Amino acid sequence: MKRSCFFPCLLIFLFFLSSVSHAGDETGLTEGQTIYVPAYSHIYIGSTEKEFSLTITLSIRNIDLDNPIEITIVDYYETQGKLLKKYLNKPITLKPLESLRYVIPEKDKSGGSGANFIVEWKSDKPVNLPIVECIMIGAKSTQGISFVSRGREIHH
């Protein structure tokens, strides 16, 4: 293999391998979960660790084709674990294939680089696990960045 092609091919292979290794985490039926979702109100760039502010969008998607789920908790925490905001006063029902989102604007840096959400949901019967993720995006001058962090179950 030519040297100029080696690193791009290696990156593609590693991306494919990481996608395959996580596929099992997203399957199965259950009646509820507590999910930890990493979020970043900013990241650090350069050798001086300059802050790059980001907008955070928490996305909760009911991917079950037939059954609703009930979202019971959506809480936002900062880097040191202090609760910043409780988003729900009462549970919200997501119909099949319905989505819900919460946005933390770029100017809100209160979460820090270790911000996170705790999302709790339940259902009357076993359903497909929802997709719960944070999408971070930011732009300065001609530089832009975006990435996604997927939630992880911490309690079943």
Give tens-digit pLDDT for 56-86: 999 999 999 999 999 999 999 999 999 999 9
Decide: 112 and 34 in contact? Cβ < 8 Å. Answer: no
**Is residue 137 assigned to a domain?**
yes
Per DSSP (E only), the strands in the chain are: 29-38, 42-45, 50-53, 55-61, 69-77, 83-86, 92-94, 99-104, 116-128, 131-140, 143-150, 152-155
Q: How far apart are CA 76 and CA 119, in angstroms?
A: 9
**Is residue 12 assigned to a domain?**
no
SS3 27: coil
pTM as predicted: 0.80
CATH code for position 103: 2.60.290.11
**Is residue 22 assigned to a domain?**
no
Residue 156 is predicted with a pLDDT of: 62
**Which structural domain range is residue 77 located in?**
30-155
Q: Which one-letter DSSP state was computed for residue 18?
A: H
The model's pLDDT over 81-112, given as tens digits with 9 standing for 90+, comes to 999 999 999 999 999 999 999 999 999 999 99
**Is residue 49 assigned to a domain?**
yes
Q: Say how many domains are in the chain.
A: 1
Q: Is the pLDDT of residue 11 over 50?
A: no
**Is residue 91 assigned to a domain?**
yes
**Is residue 120 assigned to a domain?**
yes
**Is residue 117 assigned to a domain?**
yes
**Is residue 4 assigned to a domain?**
no
Q: Which residues contact 34 (CB under 8 A, 6 or more apart)?
A: 73, 118, 119, 120, 153, 154, 155, 156
